[in-house]
Amino acid sequence: MSQLEQAVPDTFVAKGLETLPNIFDRVEALAKDFATRAGAHDKDGSFPFENFTALHEAGLLSLTIPREFGGQDLGLPTICRVIEGIARGDASTALVLTMHYLQHAHAARSRRWHPEVYKRLCRESIEGIALLNAARVEPELGTPARGGLPATIAERTTEGWRLTGHKQYTTGSPILSYFVVWARTTQDEPQVGSFLVPRDLPGLQIVETWDHLGMRATGSHDLILENVLIPSEYALNISPISAAPSFDPLIATWGNLTVSALYLGVATSARDWLAKYLWERSPSNLKEPLATLPRFQTAVGEIEALLFANNRLIYSLAEDIHKGEYDPNVGLQAQAVKYLTTTNSIRAVEIALELTGNPGLLKRNPLERHYRDVLCSRIHTPQNDVICQSLGKSVLKVK
């Protein structure tokens, strides 16, 4: 048995998956199941709780938790493959899973959490369905990636910290057990940082505001905090506002490559549906499937070239990072990969829509959902203009 096959212990194998030999077979089986419900969850904006029960039972919620705390601590290439695979079945589920993976990967690497707090969180994430994600975007500020300070405040008291604020786009909010909240302190010389906020505390409220074009089943609702008291040790990484923000290029690299893999999965599902449709569709004037016509073969070939490029870009850099064979500009390279691959994924689905015309936009067909979902790739930080400006500055030697 390979090391990868050993990574998922038998005790975590979901019922019905016992005979599947490795993690990728399990992901494929789950994705096929998720796909049967993805359209319904998308239609009414409901959250796929059952998918996360299945992910837990298959041992797939602990992949980025350190082995010393009972997790599997798998590398970036494997995590990208898992996310891509799940996204082929349900992009919304894959996005919530991605955020959970990234938060654990970041915590494990930074080691700035209180040891006992992080150990307990890891145990809960392995024994049950205890997901976490960051809560950073605010109505007034927007995304913090473009600068600015949070309006959310954290007041130090004798009992701990009291948090008050309003966060938007909190992906996975219906199921999250913990929120990593970005806030500033109320001192004369304020500090800024992240605070771990458990879901079940008084004063915490989820307001169901998410009604989006794409990724409709992510439950990315608003988080309201009104004097929510957390223990002192739940302050994760506080530093003066005047201090330069800490930046780990490998943490950002994980974010860029996992998101890229997710939307590669969406585009691949669109291609698969298109191929099936072209074989099934035989117009009466042609008397043969559309798949036999050169024009359609050429267009599908263009899609395949875009997906091939995505695959090579994502996984070659992921392998380099996993092996430790990367240069100091790896963070910028990962941004370039995100820019190129998400652009390719959008174009791949657009080609599929151009080929199918009205049938591709029918609600009963998944292609229109794949298109709405893949467009969301443009929203994730860093956005395309920031990436291209950073690349341009690196060439022009501008700070």
Q: What is the CATH number of the domain that holds 388?
A: 1.20.140.10
Between CA 83 and CA 105 the distance in angstroms is 14
Same domain (yes/no): 222, 284: no
240 Cβ partners below 8 Å, 6+ apart? 189, 191, 192
- Among 211, 240, 269, where does a domain finish? 240
* Percent of the chain scoring above 70 in pLDDT: 92
Same domain (yes/no): 253, 392: yes
Same domain (yes/no): 155, 233: yes
Please give the mean pLDDT across all residues of the chain: 91
Same domain (yes/no): 69, 89: yes
Between CA 184 and CA 205 the distance in angstroms is 20
Same domain (yes/no): 218, 153: yes
pLDDT classification of 342: cutoffs 50, 70, 90: very high
- The token pair that represents 185 in the structure block: 């302190």
Neighbours of 8 (CB within 10 A): 21
- Burial per residue of 290-325, b for 16 or more beta-carbon CB atoms within 10 angstroms, e otherwise: bbeeeebeebbeebeebbeebeebbbebbebbbeee
- The whole-number average pLDDT for the span 234-244 is 82
Between CA 70 and CA 76 the distance in angstroms is 18
pLDDT of residue 222: 98
Same domain (yes/no): 199, 268: no
Same domain (yes/no): 116, 164: no
- Among 129, 150, 170, where does a domain finish? 129
Neighbours of 91 (CB within 10 A): 29
pLDDT classification of 252: cutoffs 50, 70, 90: confident
Between CA 163 and CA 197 the distance in angstroms is 9
Task: Determine which of 107-111, 213-217, 372-376 has the lowest per-residue pLDDT on average.
Answer: 107-111
Number of domains the chain is built from: 3
Same domain (yes/no): 15, 120: yes
CA dihedral 306, 22, 86, 137 (to 10 degrees): -100
- The token pair that represents 163 in the structure block: 């948090």
**pLDDT, tens digit, for every residue of 169-193?**
999 999 999 999 999 999 888 899 9
* Percent of the chain scoring above 90 in pLDDT: 82
pLDDT of residue 4: 32
Q: What is the CATH number of the domain that holds 236?
A: 2.40.110.10
CA dihedral 12, 16, 20, 23 (to 10 degrees): -40
- Burial per residue of 340-355, b for 16 or more beta-carbon CB atoms within 10 angstroms, e otherwise: bbbbbbbebbbbbbeb
- The whole-number average pLDDT for the span 180-207 is 94
Between CA 152 and CA 136 the distance in angstroms is 9
385 has pLDDT over 60: yes
Range of the domain at 300: 249-396
Same domain (yes/no): 304, 388: yes
Same domain (yes/no): 63, 149: no
**Do 58 and 5 touch, CB atoms closer than 8 A?**
no
Q: What is the CATH number of the domain that holds 94?
A: 1.10.540.10
- The token pair that represents 43 in the structure block: 């239609």
- Sign (positive or negative) of CA dihedral 343, 345, 346, 348: positive
- The whole-number average pLDDT for the span 222-226 is 98
**pLDDT, tens digit, for every residue of 13-31?**
344 444 445 899 999 999 9
pLDDT classification of 203: cutoffs 50, 70, 90: very high
Between CA 87 and CA 107 the distance in angstroms is 24
CA dihedral 103, 109, 114, 117 (to 10 degrees): 40
Same domain (yes/no): 22, 110: yes
CA dihedral 268, 270, 275, 278 (to 10 degrees): -170
Task: Determine which of 146-155, 200-209, 338-347, 381-390 has the lowest per-residue pLDDT on average.
Answer: 146-155
Same domain (yes/no): 342, 325: yes
Give the CA radius of gyration of the chain.
Answer: 22
pTM of the model: 0.92
246 has pLDDT over 70: no
Length of the chain, in residues:
399
- Among 187, 220, 240, where does a domain finish? 240
